[in-house]
Amino acid sequence: MPGTTELPRTRGLLLSVDVDSLDLYLSLYGHAVDDASARALVETTYTVGVSRFLELFDELGVSATFFAVGRDLAVPAAGRVLSAAAAAGHTVGNHTFSHRYDFIRLPEEAARDEILRGHTAVERTVGKPPVIFRAPGYNMTSREYALLDAMGYRYDASPLPSPPYLAIKYTVMAGVRILGRRSRSIWGNPAAFAGATRPYRRGSLLVLPNAVSPVLRLPVIGTTLSTAPGPLYDHFLSALAREEFVSLEFHAVDLMERQEDGLPEPLRAQRDLSIPVSVKRARFRRFIESLKERLPLFTP
């Protein structure tokens, strides 16, 4: 990748949670949400999903990075939960202001504004400016890296170097279109899903790719840890246990359940939301416990 320098000696376990609210998931499947419903879904995402991750991390004695969408922090309950996370020693990262899936297609000033407004919302909420960024949908181009560099960011945790993930995403998007709806997701930048799997420098930024399996580059994220058959889950665990650096990404919805938590019916399309929270929690706990036995926590 032009302009990058791989750093194979970077060592550690970065745990992160993307706080993508439930209304964003509905938009992926082509369902519109009014403002009042969106605020209620943001509140549920934080008070249920994020709170459950905070409890899990507290039990494990680990710190994590929560990537917050700036606009959501105008919801009082979201701000309270995120402030509690920061007070407990967790890092808060910038996930843009409005989580525009077409972030990389915006005019440069609009893209800069998305980063800056998200940055300001995080700093206002937790009293500390974010130093780490993650783009919506894992999509980045050289322009966005240059914007982050100019704004003084130290880390980017956007890439998911997994062509199989991209293939699944395209399949879902095509299915939504066949049903006559329009997904908010975009085809994106395929090159962003085929880069280095280990940390590397890009200008002054340390880029921290999300975890994938060796060879096939299957995504090792909360969704796959929830749904993978036992042998594949064990393969993921043994493979990552041999890595020097692991960026393990979850989403707040990973510890939610559609029926139990009274989530919108259209989210039945999200397969992992049908799995009991107790099952997912146990799988996440085992995975984190195993990795933290041999890797120090990486804190941005």
111-169 pLDDT, tens digit each = 999 999 999 999 999 999 999 999 998 999 999 999 999 999 999 999 999 877 775 65
What mean pLDDT comes out for the span 97-103? 94
Examine residue 105 and state whether it is found in any structural domain, yes or no. yes
Examine residue 48 and state whether it is found in any structural domain, yes or no. yes
Query: Which pTM value belongs to this model?
Result: 0.92
Per residue in 205-264, pLDDT (tens digit) is 999 999 999 989 999 999 999 999 999 999 999 999 999 999 999 999 999 999 999 999
Examine residue 141 and state whether it is found in any structural domain, yes or no. yes
pLDDT value, residue 5: 59
43: containing domain: 4-292
Examine residue 299 and state whether it is found in any structural domain, yes or no. no
Instruction: Kindly indicate the confidence band of residue 23, based on its pLDDT and cuts at 50, 70 and 90.
Output: very high
Q: How many angstroms from the chain centroid is the CA of residue 143?
A: 21
Examine residue 300 and state whether it is found in any structural domain, yes or no. no
- The pairing of strands 200-202 and 205-207 is antiparallel
Examine residue 297 and state whether it is found in any structural domain, yes or no. no
Examine residue 168 and state whether it is found in any structural domain, yes or no. yes
Domain tally for the chain? 1
Q: Which residues of 251-286 are buried (b: 16+ CB within 10 A; e: fewer)?
A: bbbbbbbbeebebbeebebbebbeeebeebbebbee
Q: Return the CATH number at 97.
A: 3.20.20.370
Examine residue 161 and state whether it is found in any structural domain, yes or no. yes
